[in-house]
Amino acid sequence: ALAAIETDALIVGAGPVGLFQVFELGLLDIEAHVVDALTEPGGQCIELYPDKPIYDIPGVPMCTGRELTERLLEQIRPFAPTFHLGQEVTALARREDGRFDIGTSLGTRFVAKTVFIAAGVGAFQPRKLHLQGADTLEDRQIFYRVRRPQDFAGKHLVIAGGGDSALDWAIHFAQEGAHRAASVVLVHRRDGFRAAPASVARMRELCDAMQMQFLVGQISGLETAGERMAGVKVTSPDGLTRVVPAEALLVFYGLSPKLGPIAQWGLAIERKQLVVDTEKFETSEPGVFAVGDINTYPGKKKLILCGFHEAALAAFGAARYVFPDKPVHLQYTTTSPKLHKALGVE
Ligand code: FAD
């Protein structure tokens, strides 16, 4: 196993508030590592509304979810945070030396002086197929993400879903190329898609050229032969069920957030939210802070601008642990030579 990464601060969640937490810590000279279950930063802004406009970021009359994420990433660049994406923080425990041991689903380990939980509504996890036998076939013949596309080349594939992921992968495996499958059948419950119109057009073109098929229906069962899946049962809107032979089933039913392991860390929780004070936004565990949608306190509002304020005060709260012997003073970014140096704007 790789050695644990030592850091002043570990941030759980790369949503807008986790990203701005990097900035506020950076101003106080506290370096941070950031972990997110998603494969890109941005949290809800990227996952749920990348192209929708936001109108209530102070000083920014309008920007989309993606633009806000891009601007935050640019703003924190001087502090060079290290991102660990596509992995969930699963374990948090205090060490004898007062620091924290943190572990992720991919086996990355950290030893951190302070922890910032900016986990929003929880880690985004793929919505799973609730069918008998689906659990045991997961990662063998049923997949909720494509990690190695080459594994699917030359196979008979069924792809379920009506969003961009389902369409992009159906096209990828159906068209000429290194990863072309033996066959591709796209299954969606209706003949309408929540995906880029160009992808829908391309998919229909491939169907017309008989390079793939599209079936309207629901996946209603699995055909197995011994331990293996041999086919997928698809029930069409008129109630007719047919079996589509398949060696692999790729399911893209979207992502749903799960509080998951955070509930097991012994922190005070109220209605699935972490209870914090409003001076430092610290949880019931000294040195563990919670900012953004994940926390609760009297008057809490789940707004990005509130999360930004929380991140500023939490950073000052953490400075006590990172620099126990040093008083921390407020400095203005406009006038402080020390901050100019940190921001690289001298
Ligand atoms: P999130 O954005 O939820 O990010 C949390 C991140 O933590 C996620 O990426 C998640 O994968 C990760 N995570 C969670 N648990 C773990 C774990 N154990 N390990 C690793 N990673 C983990 N707010 C506004 O202020 N103005 C608006 O106009 C506005 N419009 C909105 C429109 C829509 C459609 C929606 C859904 C929300 C809107 N919001 C708006 C709310 C705003 O998006 C949230 O307040 C904001 O995203 C909260 O940011 P966050 O960083 O706290 O959490």
* Residue ranges matching CATH 3.50.50.60 in the chain: 5-125+256-343, 129-253
Do residues 290 and 302 make contact, with C-beta atoms less than 8 angstroms apart? no
pTM of the model: 0.80
- Cβ atoms within 10 Å of 8's Cβ, excluding its own: 20
Whether ligand 1 lies within 6 angstroms of the CB of 120 is answered as yes
Would you list which residues are annotated within the binding site? 36, 44, 49, 89, 124, 293, 334
Q: What is the pLDDT of residues 256-310, one digit of tens each?
A: 878 889 999 999 999 889 999 999 999 999 999 999 999 999 999 999 999 999 9
ipTM of the complex: 0.99
Q: Whose CA is nearest to atom 6 of ligand 1?
A: 13
- Cβ atoms within 10 Å of 338's Cβ, excluding its own: 11
Q: Smallest Cα–Cα separation from 20: which of 65, 74, 61?
A: 74
d(CA 48, CA 212): 29
Which atom, in ligand 1's list, is nearest to the CA of 104?
19
d(CA 324, CA 108): 28
Q: What is the CATH number of domain 5-125+256-343?
A: 3.50.50.60
Whether ligand 1 lies within 6 angstroms of the CB of 26 is answered as no
Ligand 1 centroid to residue 69 C-alpha, Å: 11
Write out residues in the chain with pLDDT < 70, as ranges.
Answer: 1
Ligand 1 centroid to residue 218 C-alpha, Å: 30
Ligand 1 centroid to residue 193 C-alpha, Å: 25
Q: How many residues does the chain have?
A: 346
Would you list which residues are annotated within the binding site for FAD? 36, 44, 49, 89, 124, 293, 334
Note the pLDDT of residue 1: 63
Percentage of residues of the chain with pLDDT beyond 70: 100
Query: What is the CATH architecture assignment of 129-253?
Result: 3-Layer(bba) Sandwich (3.50)
Whether ligand 1 lies within 6 angstroms of the CB of 302 is answered as yes
Q: Please, is 28 exposed, middle or buried when counting C-beta atoms within 10 Å of its C-beta (0-12, 13-18, 19+)? A: buried
d(CA 20, CA 16): 6
Ligand 1 centroid to residue 293 C-alpha, Å: 7
Ligand 1 centroid to residue 289 C-alpha, Å: 17
Residue owning tokens 């101003």: 27
